[in-house]
Amino acid sequence: MKTSKILTIAITLMGALIFVNASAQTNISGTWKRNDNKTDAGGLSINSVATSLEIIQDKSTVIVKGTNKNSAGEVSTYTDILKLDGNSTERKAGADRTKSITAKWSADGKSLTESATYKDEQGNVTQTIKQTFALSDDGKTLRITDERNFDGQAVALNEIFDKQ
């Protein structure tokens, strides 16, 4: 009788540990710098990819602060707030566009997918983006696969960032 109780408790604890590990989300927080040698901008200018990212993650949100530098050397920044409850967020994206963002963790918690839609002042969709963030096993490299659709054109980018 005691053996069966101990066995039942052990099986229950193992199941709980497996559930906790399966639902744990990768922590992508950190300061990241674009690796120009490994990033493939999909035929677009490398300036289409942020030069650096600061990512702050907690249970309910992932905040992505990006820095871009255009070909003239002008620096701009943006902040995207990704809510992890399935709700979308919006921000101004330039003078005449709005970016609407949703985010979702993969079932195994190893990658985060951001889906975004840009709309002009009239509400017309001008661009869609799907970015999937995944951390390398050693935690030193952040890969973002980026699928963009704009002006009737689909572009795939492979963005690589090194942890600072």
Mean pLDDT of 141-158: 95
Full set of structural domains in the chain with CATH: 26-163 (2.40.128.20)
Q: Which helix (H) or strand (E) holds 159?
A: strand 153-163
The pLDDT assigned to 32 comes to: 98
The pLDDT assigned to 5 comes to: 65
Measured CA to CA in angstroms, residue 45 lies from 36, 61, 62, 158 at distances of 11, 30, 27, 13
Q: Residues 61-84: pLDDT tens digits?
A: 999 999 999 989 999 999 999 999
% pLDDT > 70, the chain: 86
- DSSP codes, 138-156: TSSEEEEEEEEEETTEEEE
For residue 109, what are the contacts with CB-CB under 8 A and spacing of at least 6?
Answer: 22, 23, 24, 25, 26
